[in-house]
Amino acid sequence: MEIIAAIEPLYNDLKELGFPKLLNENEFVRITNKLNLTNEFSEASQGIKKSNDPFDFMNFFNKSEDEVLARFLNKQLTISRDHFFKTITNLLENTIPLLQYIPSIDAVIEDLESIGIQTEYIQRLRSAWQKKDADYKQKTHYFTSLLITRSQNIPVQESHYTKLRQDLLNHSVLSPHVPDYIINSPELQHFWEFIKCQGGYRPRREYLNDTLSALISESDQLSAVLAHDLLQKIKVEINLNYINESWSKSLIRLNADPDGAITSARSLLETVCKHILENLNIEYDENLELNKLYKQTATNLNLSPEQHTEQIFKQILGGCQTVVDGLAGIRNKHGDAHGSNSKKLKPSSRHAELAVNLSGSMCKFLLETFSARNNNLSLKV
């Protein structure tokens, strides 16, 4: 099946990462259930013809997984750009941890940026990759399996070896446990020349298990600490600078693309609400409407009108809820997130400017309130 030209680079890079291979895994099915995408993937898999060659069953499975991915991506893009970006971001956020190894996510980011994805979605994808990249337990185990595979004279990806080796050597805690033969083998060919002199396949495997055991043990102990440290780092990345930058980018789009500016304004407020709830360790429905998401956030920040008795505070906080309801309403009616039709009214730049400024003000108010209530998380101004 042909992929829509605009997303062909993304499709190819997702295949390069091994994404299609996840489609038949139980954990992937659980994720699609949670994200309400089960029917989408089921529809994408319908109508794919099996090969008539009885000896071609492996190639069929590889081709069918690729075609399911192509059909799925095509369908999401035809709904709307914003729907596509939101769906892909939600899906990749949840499935990146399932992928075996990702040296970098830059190619996928560049593909999405080339078709206009918003900054807040990029931030979420980078955060998901950073969490995975900090998992040195997984990286060390994968590096070990890569070495064992190569020791059996089976080709492996040179780039994976090079990147993982450098990561381990650059790590202050793990580098002392990297064996000398890895230190002295900057290229995979150097490793092969060394390991093939250690006897047959079984002795080579035993040698690798013995010499890498200290590295594996240290990485296992370190992984929990690293994950916690990274989580704390990620929690403060959405700050006032981030809001101001996203706000400014939306204002720049006012005249040329008021639809997109409205969508960005709404997405920014949604991102800040989710960021606050995640930092408060509060679960939320990923597909919750903005007004309900804001209400959950406001309640946990003691900003709900029902939580106050003074009339003036009830009025101000009630006004905040009304602003959010208005943002959701103007986005649904005028934004570009739900496709277009001939009867749809085109918003003017002043409508978009109002939405963008209301969103920016609400985001700053929420983040400053959250910061004041959580002294351990400092704002970067």
**pLDDT of amino acid 342:** 42
**pLDDT, tens digit, 9 for 90 and up, residues 237-289:** 677 888 888 888 888 878 877 887 888 888 889 889 988 898 888 888 877 88
Distances in Å between the alpha carbon of 225 and those of 112, 135, 138?
32, 10, 14
**pLDDT of amino acid 335:** 42
**pLDDT of amino acid 260:** 78
**pLDDT, tens digit, 9 for 90 and up, residues 45-67:** 886 654 455 444 334 344 588 99
| Structural domain spans, the chain | 5-117, 136-234, 240-373
Q: State which residues of the chain have pLDDT below 70.
A: 1, 47-63, 223-237, 330-347, 374-381
**pLDDT of amino acid 338:** 40
**pLDDT of amino acid 120:** 85
**pLDDT of amino acid 24:** 84
**pLDDT of amino acid 63:** 53
Tell me the whole-structure pTM to 2 decimals: 0.58
Closest among 17, 133, 106, 110 to 69, alpha carbons compared: 17
